[in-house]
Chains A and B, each alone.
Chain A
């Protein structure tokens, strides 16, 4: 079957670094997406990993290990506006939709 696990909630301090982990189980795995969703708003695309390794994009980086079924999103120099839910999702070969996790609600405190 398909499954995604990520922590429900996390809290971090402004200016700090936080790592949000995601583990997944599926067959025919294609790639791993991270989306950000502020309360009451639509999810917005952050990153997509197909190959193993770390991809950096400004303050945000995403890592993937296909053999371990594991990904993480790394947020550096946290800002108050980073308080949001972060959704891990994968797409499968031959499928035409994304399977989402329930998201990690990140709260950034002063």
Chain B
């Protein structure tokens, strides 16, 4: 069974469209995250949710909005897509924040905006 699963794996869309990426974890973890990995392979935190509360929101445009219907799911909605949004988006989870609890990543969603 996949521990952290996200869909779709590939997403190609045009500028201005609205899209969503779904993420689910079956590890029973308390915290879920969205990371963005750009073309230079730099992984940057976007959001994290702990018990359905947003606890981190980095300087991410408000076109990006996380939605967590329950502890096992954290979806990412993106409005009015722009060319610069093209990247690989990784969902991850961990137990009760960080410390010695490593992140478990999903397989990533490669978003291409044309």
Contacts and interface: CB of A to CB of B under 8 A. Distances in A.
Interface of A: 30-31, 33, 35, 37, 40-45, 48, 50, 85, 87, 89, 91, 95-100, 102-103, 105
B44 A30 contact: no
A42 B106 contact: yes
A26 B66 CA distance: 27
B98 A91 contact: yes
A48 B106 CA distance: 20
A44 B105 contact: yes
13 contacts: A37-B41, A40-B108, A42-B105, A43-B43, A43-B103, A48-B102, A85-B41, A87-B43, A95-B56, A96-B56, A97-B48, A102-B40, A103-B41
- Chain A interface mostly: strand
Contacts of A40: 108
A48 B100 contact: yes
B33 A91 contact: no
B98 A45 contact: no
A96 B31 contact: yes
